A = this chain, B = another copy of it.
Amino acid sequence: MELIDGKKIADDIKKEIAIEVEKMVAEGKKRPHLAAVLVGHDGGSETYVAHKVKACEQCGFTSTLIRFEDDVTEEKLLETIDELNKNTDIDGFIVQLPLPKHISEQKIIEAIDYRKDVDGFHPINVGRMSIGLPCFLSATPAGIIELLRRYNIPTKGANCVVLGRSNIVGKPVATLMMQKGYPGDATVTVCHSATKNLKEICAQADIIIAALGSPGFVTEDMVKPGAVIIDVGTTRVPDVTRKSGFRLSGDVDFENVAPKCSYITPVPGGVGPMTIVSLMKNTLLAGQHVIY
């Protein structure tokens, strides 16, 4: 069993990006500039945004954080997006989700100029990804694909089971895994809450991508010896032994599943760091203006 070290791969990629950025600067170009809009003080969101800002520094990007209180109006947020769309100094930006309930996330996402949509959530980027056109790939699916690539994990003709059909992980990663080329060309099955024979389906999988948000869901009996396991789950589970009061738990019963696998991602330190690094790659693309 080999542990897939998302942290190390993410650090490698950040260094590669930093070299690219210094090249750009040496050529007289500006540093890519990422703006992040953060509404309220949700603990998870604060942490994610802080990680993103730090990653920007590591990559040599300029970053700007724009904060609003929980009671910001949708109108005000749309105004800010309009300004960011027009601001030529900003290459890409994200609006950290979730947003307060009085704001339509979909409306906000669709208001972002797709050429600056480095989260890849705008329908036009989702559609382009599905068709196989140049676009900003959504961060988590792109991070998963990159892990498979960096570990040279064979995917052609592999039975790949995706657990979960969310718009931000399950559906897009399924699309990427079935696309022509490498990593891709897999036979992909998407399972979800309505799936009946889930254990049997998993037990036939060469690759399982678990994105359910259900701690420890994938157990040892569901995994074929030698399978590759990508664990996308990051659920906060109460843990009194931790200073924070919680720990992050994946969708996989790691302790019992790991010994059976050929490759497995840990939680944390697997897919998580790759998600942020995918955002950095998109920001680099945005700074290079190659998606239009």
A130, B171: Cβ atoms closer than 8 Å: yes
B156, A194: Cβ atoms closer than 8 Å: yes
B165, A195: Cβ atoms closer than 8 Å: no
Contacts of A80-117 to chain B: CB distance below 8 A: 106
A132 CB contacts on chain B under 8 angstroms: 167
A187, B192: Cβ atoms closer than 8 Å: yes
Give the interface size bracket for A toward B.
35 or more
A131 within 8 Å of B (CB atoms): yes
A228 CB contacts on chain B under 8 angstroms: none
Interface segment, one of A51-59, A63-71, A120-128, A253-261: A120-128
Q: Given known contacts A123-B124, A124-B124, is B190 in contact with A178 (CB within 8 Å)?
A: yes
Chain B proximity of A100: nearest CB distance (Å): 21
- Number of chain copies forming the complex: 2
Inter-chain CA distance A196–B155, complex, in Å, is: 12
A189 within 8 Å of B (CB atoms): yes
A124 CB contacts on chain B under 8 angstroms: 123-124, 127
A44 within 8 Å of B (CB atoms): no
A165 CB contacts on chain B under 8 angstroms: 178-179
Inter-chain CA distance A201–B205, complex, in Å, is: 12
A185 CB contacts on chain B under 8 angstroms: 192, 194
Query: In chain B, what residue has the closest Cβ to A158?
Result: B196
Q: Given known contacts A127-B124, A175-B171, is B156 in contact with A133 (CB within 8 Å)?
A: no
A128, B133: Cβ atoms closer than 8 Å: no
Most chain B beta-carbon neighbours within 10 Å: one of A175, A186, A189? A189
A190, B192: Cβ atoms closer than 8 Å: no
B195, A187: Cβ atoms closer than 8 Å: yes
Most chain B beta-carbon neighbours within 10 Å: one of A122, A172, A185, A187? A187
Contacts of A187-208 to chain B: CB distance below 8 A: 187-192, 194-197, 201
A171, B167: Cβ atoms closer than 8 Å: no
B187, A188: Cβ atoms closer than 8 Å: no
A238 within 8 Å of B (CB atoms): no
A195, B127: Cβ atoms closer than 8 Å: no
Most chain B beta-carbon neighbours within 10 Å: one of A127, A133, A197? A127
Can you identify 21 A-B contacts, CB atoms within 8 angstroms? A122-B127, A123-B128, A123-B131, A126-B127, A126-B130, A126-B131, A130-B130, A130-B171, A130-B172, A132-B167, A156-B194, A157-B195, A159-B196, A165-B178, A165-B179, A174-B190, A187-B190, A187-B191, A187-B192, A187-B196, A187-B197
The interface of chain A, by Cβ under 8 A from chain B, is 106, 122-133, 156-157, 159, 165, 167, 171-172, 174-175, 178-179, 185-192, 194-197, 201
